[in-house]
Chain A
């Protein structure tokens, strides 16, 4: 299998006035296509920062990140945005759905951004929502959905564009254990059936151990990188 993500010597420093906080200290990291990697660690260790930097949501101070053979931080903002639209999906803890759009409109958003025509986008969004079990809630706005349903819409939104990599930041953080389990089963199914590359930042040990690889961070560095057996889940 090919490496879909290669990060080398990634450093990230937050500056507040005269103060500097080193969030990532020369991180080297690789992810193989179709792999599910969980990133765990205590609060403030740099998990979310790593996800943001590796996905190109945030700039880095040093090092390189290559996704699918393309150096992410050498791209212009517009190119990086376009790249995200076409090859990445995101799942956030706080769902972050657009409140003025209904479920299907939220899901078709990345498709339209990737240049898919409106009719195809609508049909693929509908199809994806049906796949995550929300076929009957297409026209509901986020406020009319439960937390679990909203997260499933987020998952559908992340998957609708058939991205190569899906980034998930605490995808079950706001869910009860039962709903969390449904969402994680869904992600596992997508990973195993569709070969989706999944990079998940989590506090939840159970979620972390569902992955094929578990990376542990502390103080901006990777302190362990373990291969896990899928049967462990």
Chain B
């Protein structure tokens, strides 16, 4: 905002202190209200898209942050231990007092399966993953000194009773007084619903990754009763086989509100180190982690939309340049007269830029409001996608925005507008006064020396970026460097005689580099960032437009010949062919947006066609995944139709600190043993220093020091971008026992659609998680996967078994991915609106600019409908060329991706014919519709009036 204000100061000063310049700027701005509206419409979209990106980020952050209220409330940190350490934990921090905290609350939890079971032992409703909690309700009500945030009040449950959280009640169709059963540790207990409470604060306290808390609060002693048959003090493999053991925790509330309190977490964790010294436990800053993740996810999505929106913003900038160049051309005579009368060039720039600033202020204000609307639509689309996903894992999306976001959208839009307007004003102010007064064609501006310097500097920057890019293995400079080098070299070498060959060679090189650079950069180990695709688009589209502009005459000749040299065609082509700079700007407007739309559409289609390949990569020889607490391997092996069962020792909330940063995240880890290799295991996509996939798996299962990850490991929001790679290490900790182990990443696996987390060995999991390292997931090879999956859920509800077929999961994931791509496409389509609106604006101005010429043509006998046809042909020609460049380059880029061993592995190039036809014809028809108005008004021009007009 400060930048926008600082940039605005000179304009405010000019308008306030220079009456002549103010009069010129203001009167020109209001002279033709209809056209002023078009200029504003063309300028506001950049601001709108930026604002929309911020609003999308705000909404995601707020939606995830809402979980802080529904699952934590006053709870900021959690310290958990197993039963044997519970008295010691209570002794050490039960009465912990510190100026940073305002409460400590003991709580006991146990993961269970819950079901509404009929007398005939058939479950009518089940919650495979639920949680029993024991807490002192009176203590909980005043915990954190924020009764409404706590979520618990009133009387606690009596013996045999449960206070049930809404989510569980809804899942099991429970009402007050109903009964239900819980299953855990090989036991079950029947409970009566005392009352149902909302999911809020301590009432929603949940240890899993889900955002829905299937909680039931029970009377003290209930959990102990379920575990009574176990000798908890000697908990070992026998008890582990029955499921995860109860956890005894101390919940700590920091001072401050639900979200503000989390800011003290780092200090509180530090303060708790001393009283907990020597204990095998870990302080988990649970709420801070959640809020950090929310911000990260929000920022990631905001950046994704911003980067994608930049394509449209770029188109908007070109439109703005075009509009102001046309404005300057139209006012050439009057500007020339003013210069002749003594107006200095600086003042001319000031007047013109001030007029642009006025447009910009209005456009950005409207754009901010429009951006809110676009953001709302994107959120609506995103809500529909998440509605079809696993609702338990995704926070419900609720539209939200902050004033800062609106300010930022406005400021970015205004800054872009001002910078564009100033640049264009300076450029258009360089004219010959006499030529301008006599309304002659703009003569070529001298400045070969300046161009050579600019070319040299650009080439030097390009060379530097190339070196830095490859040295730092960063995709952005790798992409941009050689292209800038080529552009700079072409500018430097361009001389009148050699212009065409020089332009052709360097532009062709830049296009070829743009097409192949992303796979090359990834091949060198660079991360595929979203911004890389923006740069790729620019370094292909700009040279392609330059190249086409160089050969426009040839294109024109061919088209004129093909159409039998019809006069309206010749006239329609004559202007775009003659005004190459203007045509090039319009072409680029279309090309850049059509490029990325083609790219995304093709990529999306290619992914959709890979379901079988992805299923095979993800499952290997397995076809079903079962989650249960615990997995009963023997029972599964004995189930009809099951050929192979491989247990996974999986923990959903391991604390992981990568060697590349100090940031600790919660992420699942899964351990395997030799049984996993009885059939083809999931595909290893990068075997690192190992010769093949088998060697990788053998090394993994026979050691407790190794891990395999995928590209999404520890990444949140935006595209997959793991902070660690092969050769790096991760410190894996059990937040409950404090057990930990450093694991080295030896390979990368296929995308972790099933969310196993990092792979390691079963022995490593036991070393870290001790008795709570139990098999909770199994990979199954079944004869009839669909049948097995549906059968196992209904028959094994006591262990909370949930089964999915790998093929079904892949299809679900691809369907969601497709919806996400559609959403991105819709957002990008706004860029096409810029292009189409641009054509409309340009045609309106073209009609005004050519009134006199149209008058002459009409006087000479050119029929009215031929005039309108010529304008339509002109618009259609420019739009088609832009579409052609965008589609061709988009297809070439996606094709080169399939050639890449890394990123495009397994992808088959497919041309989405129907989708592209819709894109091509939709854009073309849109452009023609935008031309209808100006073309009709051109046809209505009366020759005598036009010839008399000087304006």
* A pairs with B: yes
For chain A, residues 108 to 151, give those with C-beta under 8 angstroms from any C-beta of chain B.
Answer: 109-110, 112-114, 118, 141, 143
Q: Is A36 an interface residue (CB 8 A)?
A: no
Residues of B within 8 A of A113 (CB): 567, 860-862
- A101 to B574 alpha-carbon distance, docked (Å): 7
Q: Is B942 an interface residue (CB 8 A)?
A: yes
Return the contact of A99 from the options B577, B578, B943 (Cβ within 8 A): B578
Judge whether B942 and A58 touch: CB under 8 Å: yes
Provide the A40-57 mask, 1 if CB < 8 A to any CB of B, else 0: 000000001000110101
Judge whether B944 and A58 touch: CB under 8 Å: yes
Q: Is A157 an interface residue (CB 8 A)?
A: yes
Q: B225 to nearest A CB, angstroms?
A: 92
Q: Is B558 an interface residue (CB 8 A)?
A: no
Size category, A interface: 35 or more
Q: B552 to nearest A CB, angstroms?
A: 12
Return the contact of A81 from the options B577, B578, B855, B864 (Cβ within 8 A): B864
Q: Is A223 an interface residue (CB 8 A)?
A: no
Judge whether B852 and A96 touch: CB under 8 Å: yes
Q: A105 to nearest B CB, angstroms?
A: 8
Residues of A within 8 A of B944 (CB): 52-53, 57-58
By beta carbon, the residue of chain A nearest B866 is A113
By beta carbon, the residue of chain A nearest B560 is A118
- A222 to B441 alpha-carbon distance, docked (Å): 40
- A113 to B860 alpha-carbon distance, docked (Å): 8
For chain A, residues 82 to 120, give those with C-beta under 8 angstroms from any C-beta of chain B.
Answer: 82-86, 88, 90, 92, 94, 96-101, 105, 109-110, 112-114, 118
Residues of B within 8 A of A52 (CB): 943-944, 947-948
Count chain B residues whose beta carbon lies closer than 8 angstroms to a beta carbon of A.
29
Judge whether A48 and B861 touch: CB under 8 Å: no
Q: Is A204 an interface residue (CB 8 A)?
A: no
Q: B655 to nearest A CB, angstroms?
A: 70
Q: Is B565 an interface residue (CB 8 A)?
A: yes
Judge whether A98 and B852 touch: CB under 8 Å: no
Q: Is B859 an interface residue (CB 8 A)?
A: yes
For chain A, residues 32 to 79, give those with C-beta under 8 angstroms from any C-beta of chain B.
Answer: 48, 52-53, 55, 57-59, 77-78
Q: Contacts A96-B853, A113-B567, A143-B441: A84 and B947 contacting too (C-beta < 8 A)?
A: no
Q: Is B858 an interface residue (CB 8 A)?
A: yes
Q: B457 to nearest A CB, angstroms?
A: 33
Judge whether A96 and B861 touch: CB under 8 Å: no
Q: B149 to nearest A CB, angstroms?
A: 70
- A100 to B846 alpha-carbon distance, docked (Å): 13
Of A48, A77, A99, A110, chain B has the most CB atoms within 10 Å of the CB of A99
Interface of A is mostly: helix
Return the contact of B858 from the options A81, A97, A112, A118 (Cβ within 8 A): A81
Provide the A176-209 mask, 1 if CB < 8 A to any CB of B, else 0: 0000000000000000000000000000000000
Provide the B19-44 mask, 1 if CB < 8 A to any CB of A, else 0: 00000000000000000000000000
Residues of B within 8 A of A141 (CB): 441
Judge whether A114 and B861 touch: CB under 8 Å: yes
Q: Is B387 an interface residue (CB 8 A)?
A: no
Residues of A within 8 A of B440 (CB): 143
Residues of A within 8 A of B862 (CB): 81, 85, 109, 113
Q: Is B612 an interface residue (CB 8 A)?
A: no
Q: Contacts A57-B944, A143-B441: A100 and B575 contacting too (C-beta < 8 A)?
A: yes
Q: Which 5 A-B pairs have the closest CB atoms?
A: A85-B861, A58-B944, A100-B578, A52-B944, A143-B441
Which of B's residues lie within 8 Å of A, judged by CB? Answer: 440-441, 565, 567, 570-571, 574-575, 577-579, 852-853, 855-864, 942-945, 947-948
- 21 pairs, A vs B, C-beta closer than 8 Å: A52-B948, A53-B944, A57-B859, A57-B943, A78-B864, A81-B858, A86-B861, A90-B856, A94-B852, A96-B853, A96-B856, A98-B857, A100-B574, A100-B575, A110-B860, A112-B567, A113-B860, A118-B565, A143-B440, A143-B441, A169-B947
